[in-house]
Amino acid sequence: MLFPGSPEEQINDNKPFPAHLFIFKENETNSYVVIYSNVPNRPDPRGPDRIFEDARDATIGKEAKPLQELSITNNGYTGREIEWEPKYKDEKYGQAFAVAHFFLTRNHFYEVMVSVPAQNRHATNIWYFLNSFKLSDVK
C-alpha cells in the first residue's frame, strides 16, 4: 500500500471477525485506512453482495449521504467502491468526503478507505492510495 506516511497498526478483536487496522492520519482532515479480517472457511450463504451491503451500512452509518456505489474488481476478485459524505460537518473544514473499496476473497475481507474534506474529493493522492491496494492472484 502506498500510504502517505507510516500507518499505525491496531487490532480490533470484536467477535466474530477480529480485524487488523492500519491507519495513517495525515492531518486533522485526511485519513487513510486499510482493514482486513479473516473469514470463516465456509462461505456465507447470503453471498458476497449481501456481505458488501452489510459492510457498507456498518462503515457509512445511517445518517451519511451515499453518493455512489460501483462494482469493481482487483486481480480477479469482485468488490465494491462506495463514496459518501459522512454525517458530520466540521465548522472549520466543512463537509467531509469518504470513499472505500471492499473486497472479499476466500479467506479475507478487505476495506481500503480514505476520508478528506469534500472540496478535495478529486485529489489524485486519494486514488493513488486506493488503487495501490493489490490482491494476490486468484487461486
Instruction: Set out the domains of the chain in order of their start, with CATH numbers.
Output: 8-131 (3.40.1000.10)
pLDDT of res. 94: 77
pLDDT-based confidence at residue 33 (cuts at 50, 70, 90): very high
pLDDT of res. 62: 84
**Which tops the pLDDT comparison, 104 or 41?**
104
Cα–Cα distance for residue pair 55/135, rounded to 1 Å: 19
| Preceding omega of 117 cis (within 30 degrees of 0) | no
**Which tops the pLDDT comparison, 51 or 36?**
36
* Mean pLDDT taken over the chain: 86
**Which tops the pLDDT comparison, 107 or 85?**
85
* Proportion of the chain above pLDDT 90, given as a percent: 45
pLDDT-based confidence at residue 137 (cuts at 50, 70, 90): low
Q: What is the pTM assigned to this prediction?
A: 0.88
Mean pLDDT, residues 110-122? 92
Collect all residues with Cβ–Cβ distance below 8 Å to 103 and sequence separation of at least 6: 74, 77, 78, 79, 109, 110, 135
Residue 138: pLDDT over 60: no
Contact of 47 with 36, CB cutoff 8 Å: no
